[in-house]
Amino acid sequence: MFAPSEDQQALIDAARAAAEAILGPTVREDDEAERFRRDAFRRLGEAGLCGIPTAEAWGGLGLGYLEYAMVLEEVAAVSAAYGVALAVSGLPQVILARYGTDAQRERWIPGLAAGELLGGFALSESGSGSDAASLKTTARRVGDEWVLNGSKFWITHAGVGDVFIVMARTGGPGARGISAFIVPADAPGVSFPKREEKMGMRASPTGEVLLEDARIPADHLVGKEGEGFRIAMSALDSGRITIGAISVGLARAAWEYASRYACEREQFGRPIIRFQGVGFMLADMAMRVEAARLLVHKAAWLRDEGRPYTHVAAMAKCTATDTAMAVTTDAVQVLGGNGYIREYPVERYMRDAKVMQIVEGTNQVQRLVIARHLERTFGPR
């Protein structure tokens, strides 16, 4: 865990080369144009990066979440937006692998693992973000179909994705009334009326999924009725590891760029890294990136080992995303005025970093998860 094995290093090198070749040449213009390129995503799939932890039987590489975290870091160091694309399209694979039927797995996972299909995860609504158990979208059984009504907000890949795992209410109030469904983007009654204009992650499309008497076959229910909230929370535990890994890649890119700049930029006759105000800032950035990576890798390792990891995943997500925000902000500071203009990438890194503290459960929610674990561990019995 402290150093990659030979196989892991080969995977890291391959992921880095693929990301730089496929995403590097257009990353700036894609951000400015708010453009997501399906052809680039497919090429990532051809490079084997869309199904890292998915079983080989379903077209994946059958590796662990530790390897997944390593790959996501490399992709995010080039483009955080496409790191998010890999992670979000991976969530339906994780959910169906654990809770789906054989028919569901065979129908959807191979295309997702190959990058031929683009997946999404639809839980949040305008009135239920952190309070996900209060969602209002409904699903009712009508003959051999489910009919869904409601709207989902802040959904990655809305308007460009092929299939979404949608959480909807089939029973009473609260978490026990929620079920999970496979909703193809082309199902009758599904539309995508709005794409958000965002501060960062501009190459990653985010928008609304509108369900107006949307009809899907009865066999598109995932798991049993009433299991949706548990399925969603399980997926979010895994997702927090991936968001942590993406944040490490983003922070690393900013720190490395700022370090190179500080070694080349001269003031008063010497490189600015030799001034303590800059050199110490870069040293702190390096320490934070390294610590965040180790915590993300620990959470991934625990998941791979089948050990409890929920609170460690929360720690990893919170630490890594706070690190990304701090390190990217400091990178802008190291570059001074140059850091604030689009010619240099650090302003994009900073804009991309902010949302990482919000998605997959805000960092305030992560601290709540950690505090509850501490209470269970150290409180009276």
Residue 291 CB neighbour total at 10 angstroms: 14
CA–chain centroid gap for 13, Å, is: 21
pLDDT over 90 at 349, yes or no:
yes
Segment 150-201, tens digit of pLDDT: 999 999 999 999 999 999 999 999 999 999 999 999 999 999 999 999 999 9
DSSP-assigned letters across all residues of 256-313: HHHHHHHHH-EETTEEGGGSHHHHHHHHHHHHHHHHHHHHHHHHHHHHHTT---HHHH
CA distance 251 to 256: 9
Residue 2 CB neighbour total at 10 angstroms: 5
State the amino acid at position 228 in one-letter form.
G
Residue 299 CB neighbour total at 10 angstroms: 30
Contacts of 196 (CB under 8 A, 6+ apart): 154, 206, 207
Q: Is 186 exposed, middle or buried (0-12, 13-18, 19+ CB in 10 A)?
A: exposed
State the amino acid at position 85 in one-letter form.
A
Task: Give the single-character DSSP code of 125.
Answer: B
Segment 313-338, tens digit of pLDDT: 999 999 999 999 999 999 999 999 99
H/E segment holding residue 109? helix 102-114
Contact 220, 244 (CB under 8 A): no
- As a whole number, mean pLDDT of residues 26-47 equals 97
Q: pLDDT-derived band of residue 132, with 50, 70 and 90 as boundaries?
A: confident
Give the long-range contacts of residues 310-316, CB within 8 A, separation 24 or more. Answer: 310/237, 310/369, 310/373, 311/369, 311/370, 311/373, 313/237, 313/238, 313/240, 313/241, 313/244, 314/240, 314/361, 314/366, 314/367, 314/369, 314/370, 314/373, 315/366, 315/370, 316/240, 316/241, 316/244, 316/292
What pLDDT is recorded for position 178? 97
Which among 38, 58, 54 is positioned nearest to 110, based on CA atoms?
Answer: 58
Return the beta strands (E) in 185-257 as ranges: 190-191, 206-217, 221-222
Burial code (b: 16+ CB inside 10 Å, e: under 16) for 330-358 equals bbbbbbeeebeeeebbbbbbbbbbbbbbb
What pLDDT is recorded for position 1? 63
CA distance 323 to 296: 12
Strand partners, 214: 148
Domains of the chain with bracketed CATH: 6-118 (1.10.540.10), 120-226 (2.40.110.10), 230-378 (1.20.140.10)
Q: pLDDT-derived band of residue 381, with 50, 70 and 90 as boundaries?
A: confident
Of the chain, the end-to-end C-alpha distance in Å amounts to 34
Segment 212-267, tens digit of pLDDT: 999 999 999 999 999 999 999 999 999 999 999 999 999 999 999 999 999 999 99
Helices 65-78 and 80-99 meet at what angle, rounded to 10? 160
How do beta strands 145-156 and 163-169 pair?
A: unpaired
Segment 58-80, tens digit of pLDDT: 999 999 999 999 999 999 999 99
Segment 77-117, tens digit of pLDDT: 999 999 999 999 999 999 999 999 999 999 999 999 999 99
Task: Give the single-character DSSP code of 168.
Answer: E
Judged by phi (left if over 0) then psi (alpha if -120 to 50, else beta), residue 64 lies in: beta
Q: Which residues are catalytic?
A: 360
CA distance 43 to 373: 41
H/E segment holding residue 196? none
What pLDDT is recorded for position 112? 98
Contact 258, 285 (CB under 8 A): yes
CA distance 270 to 169: 64
Q: pTM of the full predicted structure?
A: 0.96
Burial code (b: 16+ CB inside 10 Å, e: under 16) for 102-139 equals eebbebbbbbbbbbbbbbbbbbbbeebbeebbebebbb
What pLDDT is recorded for position 151? 97
